[in-house]
Structure formats: C-alpha cells, structure tokens
Amino acid sequence: MKRSSGRPLTPKPSAPARRGATRRAYDYDWAIFTAWCTQHGLTSLPATPDVVAVFASDRATAGLNPSTINRRVAAIGHHHRAGGYPAPTAMPTAGRLAEVLAGIRAEHGGAKRQKHPADAAELRNMLAAIEGEGLRALRDRAILAIGMAAALRHSEIVALQVEHIGIVPEGLRLTIAHSKTDQARQGIVIAIPEGSRIRPKALLLAWMAAAGHAEGPLFRRLSRRDAMTPAAMSDRAIARLVQHYAAAAGYDPTLFAGHSLRAGFLTEGASQGATIFKLQEVSRHKSVQVLADYVRNADLFKDHAGQRFL
C-alpha cells in the first residue's frame, strides 16, 4: 500500500481563469485559429488533432517561431476545455500532432537573435549623448526620437519626405507613404504626441528649421564636413547611427540596430499598459501575434503565480 505524502490534495479547476497578458494572448491566438479554420472550411470547436497539426505546420511554414506555435496550440486547448471538450493534444488520436510539433521544434527551434529594443530610458540616454547643436546633432536627435515615436522601420525613416510631416497643436501627423504592410500604397497617417520627455515634435522641428529644406527627403545625407546634400540617408546609415549613439551612451552597440527604435516603442508601450490595439495603431502590424508577445513579455512578472510564496 502506498503511503500518503501528507499533503492535502486540492482539485484542479477545469477551466482556470487566466489573467492579464496570458489571457489576452490566448484570446488572440484563438481568434487567429478560428479565422484560419473558417478560411479553410474546417471546424474549430471541437477541432481534431489533425486539423491542429495542419494549422501548426502552416504557421511554421509562414515563419512563426516554435514558442509562438506552442502557445497557439495551448490556447486552442484552453478554449476547448472551456467549451467542455478535451484539448486536441489530449485526444487518443493526438500522436500525429505530437510528431508535427516535435518536428517544428527540431527544424525551427534555433533561438533567434533579436536586436535589443531601445526603451524610453535608453533612448533618452542616447539623445543625451549627442553633443552640440550642429546639423548632424540636430538631425540625429530627430531621427532617434521620430524613429521610436512612430515605431518606424529603418526603411520607413529614410523614405520620409518633408511633405509627409503635418504639424498640429497636439503634435505631429506623420504620413507613411510606403510601408511593408501597405502593399496598396494608400498611405497611413500616424499620430505622434507633443511629448514632454523625449519631445519628438520639438526635436524634429529643430532639425527642419536648421536644414531649411521645403521638399524632398526629410533626413538628408551629410558630408564629412556636415554640409547637407540632396540625397536621402540609407537604411544602413540608420543602423550605424543607432549603434553609434548606443555606444556613446555606454551600451553594447552590437546589441542594437535600426529595428531597436521600433522595438523600443512596442516594449515601452506594452510596459506602460498600452493595449494591443493601441500599439497596432502605431506599429501597423497586420498580425497581432507579434504584439501579443511584446505585451506578454512586459507582463511576465505582473501578478506572478509565485508572487505570494516565493
């Protein structure tokens, strides 16, 4: 006869209430799965393990990393249990699904090296490291501030034209004429608040006043003697600029790149409690899964399950 461990047994809730970012991420993952099922004429609730296996394989082919796919599968299981059905991974016919998930981990499981996001504190330190009031200093401050404030890709920063800037009392209205997610090239308008800490509007206006150009590329290439040229900067120049001022502020420059400005906005916005929808208004992501990851990472230690006993 087995001896009792002496510890009281507590029943596990059948559908535990998931709070905070995990619940939001699960809801978005479920919405993505149901939309995919509708698109392919499949039943999402209850879904067979084979359907989930095809979904996981399709997402891996689309470039999703294994951790995100595993979370999507977990979200599917959660919503099945909440609806009174067993999770597809727990069904007797789940062998094929387990094989597919193991294959995805084996093939795509290498950790991706993402560049470090420049959050608000780091960006302020980088701005403070820019010395002087010459053209280069004014331009570079404006690039860092606008790049983060509008969550711009480095290719979008160098594509900005003077006519894309709208000055309003509340801040700026920035038109993104060509974007990775705007294949129809209809243009997207982004609001940038006046700001009281990074002050993106003030920094941009200071550059524009000093540069004095009324049209053409907003951020121009400068000569070695800091004379302005008519040519736009290259996207590689943005990456070098970010790394240069990261080093000047005392950070490891190899951790930073042009994308650090965009990622910094998302990281800081999520940590300050911005919703996925508000982040998406600025970042223009078509899929919310990337944004869900930012929100989840920002909330990792909030309402932690072990907070009261660890």
Q: What is the rounded distance in angstroms from the CA atom of residue 3 to the CA atom of residue 86?
A: 32
Given the residues 81, 240, 285, 296, the one annotated as active site: 285
Q: Are 294 and 178 in contact (CB under 8 A)?
A: no
Query: Residue 298: which of 144, 117, 124, 152 has the closest Cα?
Result: 117
Structure tokens at 77: 């299981």
Task: Give pLDDT tens digits for 296-308.
Answer: 676 666 766 666 7
Told to judge if 308 belongs to the known catalytic residues of this protein, a careful annotator would answer no
Told to judge if 28 belongs to the known catalytic residues of this protein, a careful annotator would answer no
Residue 18 has pLDDT above 60, yes or no: no
Told to judge if 180 belongs to the known catalytic residues of this protein, a careful annotator would answer yes
Told to judge if 262 belongs to the known catalytic residues of this protein, a careful annotator would answer yes
Q: Which band of pLDDT confidence, cut at 50, 70 and 90, is reported for residue 309?
A: low
Residue 215 confidence (pLDDT)? 92
Given the residues 71, 154, 220, 262, the one annotated as active site: 262
Domains detected in the chain: 20-111 (1.10.150.130), 120-271 (1.10.443.10)
Residue 185 has pLDDT above 70, yes or no: no
Angle at the Cα of 108 from the Cα atoms of 103 and 112, rounded to 5 degrees: 155
Task: Give pLDDT tens digits for 223-275.
Answer: 989 999 999 998 889 999 999 999 999 988 888 988 899 988 988 888 888 88
Given the residues 153, 154, 220, 284, the one annotated as active site: 153
Residue 184 or 40, more confident: 40
Q: What is the rounded distance in angstroms from the CA atom of residue 152 to the CA atom of residue 198?
A: 16
Estimate to the nearest angstrom the gap between the alpha carbon of 202 and the chain centroid.
26
Residue 65 confidence (pLDDT)? 82
Question: Which of 61-70, 95-104, 171-180 is most confident?
Answer: 95-104
Told to judge if 154 belongs to the known catalytic residues of this protein, a careful annotator would answer no
In which element (H, E) is residue 168 found? strand 165-168
Question: Which of 9-23, 80-94, 131-145, 177-191 is most confident?
Answer: 131-145
Given the residues 180, 197, 213, 302, the one annotated as active site: 180
In which element (H, E) is residue 231 found? strand 228-232
Told to judge if 26 belongs to the known catalytic residues of this protein, a careful annotator would answer no
Q: What is the rounded distance in angstroms from the CA atom of residue 101 to the CA atom of residue 89?
A: 10
Percentage of the chain exceeding pLDDT 90: 46
